[in-house]
Structure formats: structure tokens, C-alpha cells
Chain A
């Protein structure tokens, strides 16, 4: 297992959000967390990354226990996050945004290859980061964590609010990253998109994992899934 999460609990101030999350991700897999709004998917990603103040349980990455580490230490083990709000910095231009995350390990993609994946970024290299379109900002947010040498990429709703053609481009990108050996943990509301890229799914509800299945068993589980997601 590259990532092994056991009985993960997390709190925002007084409110208890995660009530014991258990799941795992193997090296080279694309795994998707599904679930309704407020199920705890984003909090799960942030807890793994160490961005939540109070968390307990166990998160092992590549054999290292990370539950007691600060998020900068966790990043250096080879995890990276692309947050839901994308986190593009307004006071930095596109190139500065792209080059911001330091290299934590060898083996990141060269910048030229990132521009190959997202040619739009190269054309707008000196624009202010937040002047980009939503799709371009998403590409920038994904692109900048490909440079760092991180092996596990956590993408929080990368397709949210984007046009179908851009969603397709992001789908192709995820497929290519998987080919290159990246491991990807995805949070998605867009189930149809997730079904085109993921190997396995976990379903979350009320801060717990309530079900899991592989992509090949998807059609057999369709009715159950509609119930879970309320679609």
C-alpha cells in the first residue's frame, strides 16, 4: 500500500467531521472518493495532507506514519494536494504560481512537459494567476504539483464548474499521469467523470467510508450508487 488510512478522525474547532475513515490506495492506482456534499471528502484529503488542526488515527504513507507530522513535513514525503478552491495566488503571475511549490523529491515532470499537457498556460505565462479562466486556473493548480516529484496527487473536485471540453482535457491528463506512474486520489461529485478515470471507488457518508467497489463492478452497483449519491 502506498497510502493506508485507519480510523482517521478530524475536527474543525469543536465540530467533529471525520468519525473513523478507513481506506487505502495502492501505488499507481487512481482512486475516487464519492459522496454527497458534507460527507467529509475534502476534510479527508486535508487531514491526510496535515492541513487540519486536530486529527487522530493513523495515516501511513509509503510506510511512514504521518498523523503527528506538520503539513510541510508530509509534503516532503511525496504527497501533494490540488485544493477544491484551486488556491491560485493573486499576487503571483502564472509562472510564479507554477514554480512556487518546491521540489520535494526527484522525478517531477519537467516544466516543458507540463506546458505540453496544458499549452494554454504557456501562452499566459506572465498573466496574474487569478486573471486566468476557471479551466486555466485548474490546469495551473494541477500543473504546479506535477513538478515537485510528489508521487501521490490528491485532486479535490478538479472538474467543478468547468466546461465539458475542459473536463475532457483534465480526464486525458489524469490518464496520462497514471501511465507515467503517478498515484491519484480524487474527490468527485461528477460521478460520470470519475467513472472514466478511476480504478476503484470509495463512498463516504457522515464522515465514514460506507462502501467500496472496483470500476469493473460499476454497472452491478449502479442502483446502490444512485441511492448513496441521491442522483
Chain B
């Protein structure tokens, strides 16, 4: 029974890897933001959606192609994020997590509501860039070029982000300010500006995931709302604030979901949450979290 459907198995694995790419990019942004701002950014899904819409408008209104959108959309949404941080989130510094969570949750509802109002709930199409149409026949499966690109590009961005945070001078500032912002500021570093840029970068990653997702999943106002719940489960499993943890867990859970879809499809939507429950029972700080 298994040999006739290796094609299907690999197809589901690929779907899993694609989802894992989005999980990883989104949970990475959440981890970076949580580390620096101590805020659980519930607006992340809405900003991911805005990234996809941004690419859609760039193409259909201004005629700007996918490759430029891949740079411009994260930049624009990143700037929007920086403005949100400066005007709203900054006022919540030092308060309980709950306030940041409520504010960002409210923002997410407003943003999604606005987009739903103007664009309905159905998807707007976004074409695969022509350089990446078609695919490769690998013998055991057919690999669409665009999907291969998404996996490789996401992995590259994730690892580059990890490197920047763990191995560079700028990353050292970031790690130090996560631990003791007052002292880092007393050394002469403008920590508030760094926090604003960090939030902008984190939501920029979400927007980047949105652009990558547009040709696969279409552009929909609720695309982020559907995804973000799973992403939060990924963050909890990986350990809040852990950089490598969010990358590894993101890809691993995507693959696991894909495998479940093949072996026991009924459980594919719940497997991540079952794992979350188990991890929380055994390791409350997550697989990679510090106590």
C-alpha cells in the first residue's frame, strides 16, 4: 500500500516544508520582537497579510514585479511597524505582557476588518513570477520551481538572521539590550531606536513571508489570521524568544504536519497543538527556551 503513494508522500512533505518556511519566518520575527520588546505581537498575522497585499498592489497598481516587491513590501511594512512601535507600543514598555498582547490583538482585528471590508474574504490571484514557473521531475516526485525557491530562500533568510544576531557586533548589541537595556544605554547606545528598528525588522520578516506566500496561497484578508494561531503554537514549542529554536521548530513542525497529512489526515490540523500540549507539560519553557 505504501509503494503506490510515494509520490503522495513526497508531495505532502513538500507542502509541509513550504508551510514550515512560513512558520519559521513568522516565528523568527515573533522571537526577535519578544526578546527585545517583551511584547507578544498578535498583529504579526495581519502584517504578514499586508505584506502579501503590498505585493499585490505594487504589481497591479504600479506595475512593480515580484522581485522588487520582495524587497519593497518588507521595507514598507517594516516602516509601518516602526511607526506603530513609536506611536503605540513604546507607551506600553515596562507594563505586563497582557497590555501589549491586547493592543496588538486589537490592531490585528482592525487591520483585518478594514481589508475584509474592501476586499471581501475570497482570494485575489497573484501569478508566479515567470522565471520560476514550471518545475523539475525528480523521478520520485515533481518539484515546482517556485516552491523550491520559497523553501531555499526562507531558509537562507532565517540563517542569515540567526547569523546576524548571534555572530555580529550589531547582534551583540541586540542580545545585550535584551538582557539589560539600561546598562547598554548607559554605554552610549540609543536603545529606544534599536527597539523601534527591531520591531520594524520583525514585522518586515512577516511581510516577506506574505510576499512569498502570495503566489501559492493567493492574497486574502484572513490569510494571516488562519496561520498565526499555528505560528504561536510553534513559538511556544520552540521556546519564547529563542532564535535558532524558532527556525528549527518552524521547519520541523511544518514537515511533521505534512507527514501527518499523509499517514493520518484527520489529525493534520491538530497535531501541532497536541505536540504543544505535550511540550508544555514536559518542558514548560519550550524545547529551546531558557529557564
Q: Which residues of A contact B (CB under 8 A)?
A: 49-51, 70-72, 74-76, 80-81, 83, 87, 89-92, 96, 99-102, 104, 145, 148
B188 touching A76, Cβ below 8 Å: yes
Assembled-state Cα–Cα distance A146/B256 (Å) = 51
- Listed A/B pairs (28) with beta-carbon separation below 8 Å: A51-B182, A51-B183, A51-B186, A71-B182, A71-B186, A72-B185, A72-B186, A72-B187, A72-B188, A72-B191, A74-B186, A75-B185, A75-B187, A81-B186, A83-B183, A87-B180, A89-B175, A89-B176, A90-B179, A91-B179, A92-B172, A92-B175, A99-B172, A101-B188, A102-B189, A104-B188, A148-B187, A148-B188
Nearest CB of A to B169, in Å: 7
Please indicate the chain A residues that have their CB under 8 angstroms from the CB of B187 in the complex: 72, 75, 80, 100-102, 145, 148
Assembled-state Cα–Cα distance A74/B188 (Å) = 7
Assembled-state Cα–Cα distance A104/B182 (Å) = 17
Contact with A along B179-212 (1 / 0, CB 8 A): 1101111111111000000000000000000000
Nearest CB of B to A68, in Å: 15
Give the residue among B169, B185, B190 with the most A Cβ atoms within 10 A: B185
B172 touching A87, Cβ below 8 Å: no
The 10 residue pairs across chains A and B that have the minimum distance between CB atoms: A75-B188, A101-B187, A91-B175, A71-B186, A87-B183, A89-B176, A96-B172, A71-B185, A104-B188, A72-B185
Give the residue among A51, A83, A96 with the most B Cβ atoms within 10 A: A96
B contact residues, range: 10 to 19
Known: A51-B182, A81-B186, A104-B188. 7 other contacts (CB 8 A): A72-B186, A72-B187, A72-B191, A75-B186, A91-B176, A100-B172, A145-B187
Nearest CB of B to A43, in Å: 13
**Which chain A residue shows the least CB distance to B167?**
A96
Task: Using known A-B contacts A71-B186, A72-B185, A148-B187, determine if residue A99 contacts B169 with beta carbons closer than 8 Å.
Answer: yes
Nearest CB of B to A78, in Å: 10
Contact with A along B10-51 (1 / 0, CB 8 A): 000000000000000000000000000000000000000000
- Taking a contact as CB atoms closer than 8 A, the residue among A50, A75, A81, A89 that contacts B179 in the complex is A89
**Which chain B residue shows the least CB distance to A80?**
B187
**Which chain B residue shows the least CB distance to A87?**
B183
Please indicate the chain A residues that have their CB under 8 angstroms from the CB of B154 in the complex: none
**Which chain A residue shows the least CB distance to B180?**
A87
Q: Is B105 interfacial (CB 8 A cutoff)?
A: no
Please indicate the chain B residues that have their CB under 8 angstroms from the CB of A74 in the complex: 186
**Which chain A residue shows the least CB distance to B175?**
A91
Give the residue among B169, B176, B178 with the most A Cβ atoms within 10 A: B176
Please indicate the chain B residues that have their CB under 8 angstroms from the CB of A89 in the complex: 175-176, 179-180
Contacts of B49-68 to chain A: CB distance below 8 A: none
A72 touching B173, Cβ below 8 Å: no
Please indicate the chain B residues that have their CB under 8 angstroms from the CB of A87 in the complex: 180, 183
Please indicate the chain A residues that have their CB under 8 angstroms from the CB of B180 in the complex: 87, 89
Please indicate the chain B residues that have their CB under 8 angstroms from the CB of A90 in the complex: 179
Give the residue among A50, A51, A71, A102 with the most B Cβ atoms within 10 A: A71
Please indicate the chain A residues that have their CB under 8 angstroms from the CB of B178 in the complex: 91
Please indicate the chain A residues that have their CB under 8 angstroms from the CB of B183 in the complex: 51, 81, 83, 87
Assembled-state Cα–Cα distance A107/B273 (Å) = 57
Please indicate the chain B residues that have their CB under 8 angstroms from the CB of A81 in the complex: 183, 186
B185 touching A70, Cβ below 8 Å: yes
Nearest CB of B to A42, in Å: 13
Nearest CB of A to B193, in Å: 9
Assembled-state Cα–Cα distance A182/B179 (Å) = 29
Give the residue among A51, A72, A75, A102 with the most B Cβ atoms within 10 A: A72
A102 touching B188, Cβ below 8 Å: yes
A50 touching B186, Cβ below 8 Å: yes
Assembled-state Cα–Cα distance A70/B187 (Å) = 11
Please indicate the chain B residues that have their CB under 8 angstroms from the CB of A96 in the complex: 172
Assembled-state Cα–Cα distance A92/B184 (Å) = 13
Assembled-state Cα–Cα distance A80/B189 (Å) = 12
